[in-house]
Structure formats: C-alpha cells, structure tokens
C-alpha cells in the first residue's frame, strides 16, 4: 500500500500528558522540601543569634521547637494535599480514559450492528432491481435504494463524527486528485442524472489526504447540493487547480447553482449549526470541516448570486 | 474452469445473497460461517480468492488473512467488513490483502473488484509450473515465490504481478500508467513513490548489487525496464 502518514496518535499524547504531570508534581514536592529545609535552617540561625544576644536558652529552644514543628506540620499538610489532589486527578483521569474506551468499543460494535443490516437491505434491494423484469416494480425498488443510500449517509456521518471525537485517526497519503475525483466522485453519480448533473474542470496534482475522508467530504457536499438546490436535477460544478505553480495548497471549489442557501451564517461549519432552519442535523458541514482540518487543509463557504460554494484547500505533496 | 472463491461471512442474509449472486455470475464458491469452517475448506480445496469478513463469532478475519498469507500464498484475499476505520484498512492491507471493501457496498462494485483481483491472479500465474531465472533469483510466478541462494521468499500478489509485467516486456520500457492499470485496483491511488517501494523490494531480492541496480532500471519520468541480459 501507499506510504501513509497517521495523523494524531492518542497514546503518545497521553504519555506526554503523564510525563508533564509527573514533572510538575516532582518540581512542587522538591520545592516544598527545599523551602521546609530552608525555613528550618533560618529558625536555627535565629535561635543561635538569640543565644548570642544572651536570651534564656530554654526559652530559645522552646521557640525553636515550636517553629520547627510548625514548619514540619505545614509542609507535611501541603505535601499531603498535593499528593492527595494528584491522586484524585489520576483516578479521575483513569476513570475517564476507561469510560472513553468503553464508548469507543460501543461505537465499534454499533458500527457493525448498523452497517451489517444496511448491507443486507442494500444487497436484497439491488438483487430485486437486477432480477425484476416488470418495469412497474422498478420505481418502488429505486425509491427503496434511494432511502437506503440516505440512511447509509446519515449513519456514516454520525459514526465518523463519533470516531473523530473519540480521537480517531486519519491515514494521510499522497492522492492524485484528478483520478480520485473521476473514479470516486463523478463515476459514482453516473446514472443519477435525474437527481444531479456534475460538470468538472480538474487540474491534476498530488495532495495529502485520506481516501475515506475525501469520499465522505465529497458525498456530503453533493448531498448538500441536492438537498438545498431549487433545481431538479441539482447542478454542480467542480473546479480544482493550483493557484500558482509554487502554491503549497491545491484549491478545490464545489459550486451548486440556484441554492436555497442565500447567505452564509457566521457559525456555518460549527457542530449543530444549520444553513437552513428546516432541514439537516447540522453535522455534515462540521464533519467536512473537521476532516479537512485534520488533513492540514482548510475550508470556506460563500454565496454569490444564488450559487453556494464550498472552497477547500488541501496540502500539495511536492515530492511526487 | 471457473474461479474458486471462499466466502467467510457469519451474517446469514449477507452471506447467502453474496453467495447466490456470485454463483449466478459463474464462480465456484464455498461459504464458511466461522474461522474453523473456513480452515476446513482450505484444508480440502485450493481457492483462487478468499473474501473475508473481519468480526466473526470465533475470532478475527484478520487472523484468517494472516493464515492464508502464510499457508496458502496463491489465494488472493479481499476483506469485506463493517470495520472501516483507517487503522483497520491499514492493518488489512499490511496483511497482504489485495483489496479492502467496507460495508455497506454495491454488489456491482464487489463484483468488479473480485474480477480485477482474479484477472491479476490469472495473469500472474500463467503459464503454470514455469520457472524463470531473473538476476539472482529463480522465480516461480504460479507459486508467488522467488528462490535466492537456496532461500525461498514469498512475494505478495502485487509484487508478483509487477515482476511478471516487467519480465513479459523485458527490454522495453514499461510505463507507470501500464503498471497502475495492470497491477493496482481501481480504488487504489498509488503514487510514483509507491511503485518505487515495490521496485525497491524486487531489486533487493534480484539485483547482484541493489544499491547500483543494473537489472531493473528506472527510466526517468516514464517507468521501468527489465534488462534482457538476465
């Protein structure tokens, strides 16, 4: 397989956190011990000076003992509180980590439990479509497949979001973008001309991306175009190019004409923010934004004369 | 003779539909619903391709992938699974799988990928029982093996297909586009660097001096050529 680059390693982050924490605790403990010793020496020094000044030896000794006891008691209490606080923090951290692992395991199992019946429904529906001769039955099967696809999209969005929020990784590898778009995006919508028409002008370049993430990004952007277009079929224009020969980022625009989205809300792309009040869960664009940013890119949205544009910038692999 | 496929899938509805449809397409097929049953089938038959689910009642399909790679290197492997995270995909492909398909999938897409993998396997293995000497190695394409100085090395299906392509066109420059079309699948996006890594491994096995390659030469910006003086 292609040489990949894994983004974000949670274990390394945890190790780094524990190391920093231990360093902090050790520094505080050493400082407390040092200050305690210093104060104790100061007390002895003061007692010695008092003796030289001719004060009563037993009174000096008594004051020194009380001072030493006070320093030992307060330092000890402080040390104990520091150790106790850190122990509580450690227990909470471990409990949280265990819970996070359980949630991840739950989502892994949910992934299997949701995807398997969906696979079966799709397979049965596709088989019906392929063997059914009566054209009167085909529209029903077509609608069934459309709804399966919608459900698959929603499940995929939710599970991917949960995976990323749980510290999931991406596998960045150099991807020839033109070939990817032609094979994975444009080809997958062939035969859907009643629903969507895609035109494209893609300049070739090799970008750093994760193939699954890119597929989710395009699928979501195109689903949005269909959902928010006033036209049937929705008209989508895909344009990709390098802004200059030395550019570090490839620029990709997906524009859909005649959109219901007439302005871009300031928080579009944030979790649960919706471009329209009536439809959507506010997850799709947040997922796109999160995935693009995890691939070291960025995304902007804007509208112009009824056309809604997603503008994505992806890092170019200059070594190819 | 039809290609023989082993399907390992524990979900009855998915397994029976995939089985029926592949049988309708003319493939010979055995369907196992557990690792143990799959091992029984492998012990009694040779398969051109194994389609493996990952989450199974008695273990992981990844273990079966490893078992097939070690014991049945001529059987190509496709993982067909709901486990679609990058970690899982990387793991599956590192085990030497030819392809990794996540559920839910389109049957036509599965069929296309199965055919592509089998075409590549057929291309690599024919003619059967032939041995050829290339550089330091004695290559048995049909067994996916190279014997170098008395030691036998197993090649992955892609390494073997790449070497076969270079061998068939020895003395000519084989372009990167031809390599991509013949050796890689539709849904893979190998870059020139990926192909270089495969060539590097072949050079290490075959070249008298891998650091100064004289057998598999790079032709800058075009592709590779295998020298005729083998």
**Other CB atoms within 10 A of residue A23 CB:** 10
* A141: chain B residues, CB-CB within 8 Å: none
SS3 call for A209: strand
For the segment B134-160, the average pLDDT, to the nearest whole number, is 90
Beta-bridge partners for B146: B139, B153
**How do residues B160-180 score in pLDDT, each as one tens digit?**
999 999 999 999 999 988 898
Complete DSSP assignment for A268-309: TTSTT--SSSSS--S-HHHHHHHHHHHTT-EEEEEEETTEEE
User: How far is Cα B35 from Cα A284, in angstroms, rounded to an integer?
Assistant: 38
B104 touches chain A (CB under 8 A): yes
> Per the CB < 8 Å rule, is B83 touching A148?
no
B148 touches chain A (CB under 8 A): no
pLDDT class for B28, splitting at 50, 70, 90?
very high
Among chain A residues, CA nearest to B97: A1
Q: A–B: how many Cβ contacts below 8 A? A: 106
* Residue A112 contacts B where some CB pair is shorter than 8 Å: yes
Task: Output phi, psi for A129, to 5 deg.
Answer: -60, -40
Average pLDDT along chain B: 89
CB atoms B104 and A170 under 8 Å: no
Residues B52 and B8 sit within 8 Å (Cβ to Cβ):
yes
pLDDT of the residue at A240 = 92
Residue bearing the bigger pLDDT, A107 or B100? B100
- Locate tokens 């075409």: which residue? B119
Please give the share of chain B, as a percent, with pLDDT higher than 90: 54
| Tokens coding B11 | 């979900």
List Cβ neighbours of A15 (8 Å cut-off, separation of 6 or more).
none
> Which residues does chain B have within 8 Å of residue A124's beta carbon, measured at their own beta carbons?
13, 17
How close does chain A come to B152, measured CA to CA in Å?
A: 23
CA distances from A294 to A2, A17, A100, A290, A304 (A): 19, 21, 21, 6, 28
Which residue bears the tokens 């036998």? B152
Cβ–Cβ contact B181 with A under 8 A? no
Cβ contacts of A185 on chain B, cutoff 8 Å: none
| B191·A320 Cβ contact <8 A | yes
Considering Cα of B166, then A175, then B110, then A136, what sign does the dihedral take? negative
Across B131-163, b (16+ Cβ under 10 Å) vs e yields eeebbebebbbbbbbbbeeeeeeebbbbbbbbb
Q: Which two tokens stand for residue B205?
A: 């096995």
Q: Which residues of A touch B21 (CB under 8 A)?
A: 123, 127
Q: What is residue B58's predicted lDDT score, i.e. its pLDDT?
A: 92
Nearest residue of chain A to residue B108 (CA atoms):
A126
Backbone angles phi, psi at A261, to 5 degrees: -80, 100
Instruction: Please name the member of B14, B189, B192 whose beta carbon is closest to the beta carbon of A211.
Output: B189
Q: Which residue has the higher pLDDT, B89 or A278?
A: B89
ipTM value:
0.76
Q: Which residues of B touch A211 (CB under 8 A)?
A: 187, 189
Give the pLDDT confidence score for residue A160 in this predicted structure: 82
Q: Assess B24–A contact: CB distance below 8 Å, yes or no.
A: no
Rounded Cα–Cα distance for residues A280 and A265 (Å): 15
Cis peptide before B127 (omega within 30 of 0): yes
Question: In B, which residues are within 8 Å of A163 by CB distance?
Answer: 85
| DSSP character at residue A259 | B
pLDDT in tens, B34-60: 999 999 999 999 999 999 999 899 999
**Cβ count near B21 (within 10 Å):** 20
Q: Are A3 and B85 within 8 A, CB to CB?
A: no
- Find the distance separating the first CA and the last CA of chain B, reported in whole Å: 34
Bridge partner residues of A198 (DSSP): A236
Q: Do A112 and B186 touch (CB under 8 A)?
A: no
Tell whether A151 lies on the interface with B, counting CB pairs under 8 A.
Answer: no
Query: What is the rounded distance in angstroms from the CA atom of residue A91 to the CA atom of residue A89?
Result: 5
pTM over 0.90: no
Cβ separation B105–A119 shorter than 8 A: yes
Contacts 24+ apart (CB under 8 A), A26-34: A28/A82, A29/A79, A29/A82, A29/A83, A32/A75, A32/A78, A32/A79, A32/A82, A33/A75, A33/A79
pLDDT digits (tens, 9 = 90+) for B62-71: 999 999 988 9
Residues of chain A below pLDDT 50: 1-4, 6, 8
Mean pLDDT across B150-157: 90
N-to-C CA span, chain A: 16
Q: Quick check: B49 and B6 in contact, CB under 8 A?
A: yes
The model's confidence at residue B4, banded by pLDDT at 50, 70 and 90, is very high
Tell if the CB–CB gap between B14 and A116 is shorter than 8 Å. Answer: yes
């Amino acid at each position: 397989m292609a040489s990949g680059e894994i983004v974000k390693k949670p274990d390394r982050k945890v190790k780094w956190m524990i190391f920093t924490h231990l360093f902090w605790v050790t520094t505080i403990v050493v400082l407390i011990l040092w200050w305690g010793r210093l104060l104790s020496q100061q007390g002895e020094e003061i007692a010695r000076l008092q003796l030289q000044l001719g004060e009563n030896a037993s009174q000096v000794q008594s004051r020194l003992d009380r001072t030493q006891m006070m320093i030992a008691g307060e330092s000890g209490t402080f040390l104990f509180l520091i150790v106790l606080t850190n122990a509580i923090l450690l227990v909470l951290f471990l409990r949280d980590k265990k819970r996070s692992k359980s949630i991840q395991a739950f989502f892994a199992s949910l992934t299997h439990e949701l995807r398997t019946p969906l696979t079966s429904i799709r397979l049965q529906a596709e088989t019906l479509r392929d063997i059914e001769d009566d054209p009167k039955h085909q529209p029903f099967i077509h609608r069934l497949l459309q709804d399966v696809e919608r459900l698959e999209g929603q499940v995929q969005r939710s599970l991917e979001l949960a995976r990323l929020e749980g510290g999931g990784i991406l596998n960045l590898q150099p991807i020839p973008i033109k070939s990817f778009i032609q094979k994975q995006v444009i080809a997958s919508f062939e035969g859907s001309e009643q629903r969507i028409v895609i035109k494209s002008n893609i300049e070739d370049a090799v970008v750093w991306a994760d193939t699954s993430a890119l597929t989710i990004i395009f699928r979501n952007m195109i689903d949005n175009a269909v959902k928010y277009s006033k036209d049937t079929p929705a008209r989508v224009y895909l344009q990709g190019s390098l802004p200059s020969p030395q550019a570090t980022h490839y620029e990709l625009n997906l524009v859909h004409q005649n959109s219901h989205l007439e302005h871009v809300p300031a928080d579009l792309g944030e979790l649960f923010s919706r471009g329209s009040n009536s439809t959507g869960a506010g997850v799709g664009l947040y997922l796109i934004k999160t995935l693009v940013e995890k691939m070291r890119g960025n995304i902007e949205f804007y509208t112009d004369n009824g056309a809604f544009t997603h503008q994505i910038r992806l890092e170019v692999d200059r070594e190819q | 003779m039809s290609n023989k496929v082993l399907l390992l899938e524990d979900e009855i509805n998915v397994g029976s539909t995939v089985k029926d449809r592949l049988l309708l397409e003319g493939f010979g097929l055995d369907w196992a619903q557990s690792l143990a049953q799959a091992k029984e089938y492998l012990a009694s038959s040779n398969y051109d391709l194994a389609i493996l689910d990952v989450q199974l009642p008695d273990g992981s399909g990844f273990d079966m992938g490893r078992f097939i790679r070690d014991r049945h290197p001529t059987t190509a492997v496709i993982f067909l699974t709901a486990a679609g995270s990058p970690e899982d995909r990387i793991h599956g492909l590192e085990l030497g799988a030819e392809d990794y398909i996540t559920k839910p999938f389109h049957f036509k897409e599965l069929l296309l990928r199965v055919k592509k993998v089998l075409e590549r396997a057929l291309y690599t293995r024919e003619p059967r029982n032939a041995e050829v000497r290339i550089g330091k190695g004695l290559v048995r394409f049909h067994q996916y093996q190279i014997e170098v100085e008395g030691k036998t090395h197993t090649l992955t299906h892609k390494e073997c297909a790449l070497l076969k392509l270079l061998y068939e066109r020895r003395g000519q420059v084989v372009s990167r586009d031809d390599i991509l079309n013949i050796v890689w699948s539709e849904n893979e996006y190998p870059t020139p660097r990926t192909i270089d890594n495969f060539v590097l491994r072949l050079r290490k096995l075959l070249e008298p001096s891998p650091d100064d390659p004289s057998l598999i030469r790079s032709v800058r910006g075009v592709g590779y050529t295998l020298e005729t003086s083998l």
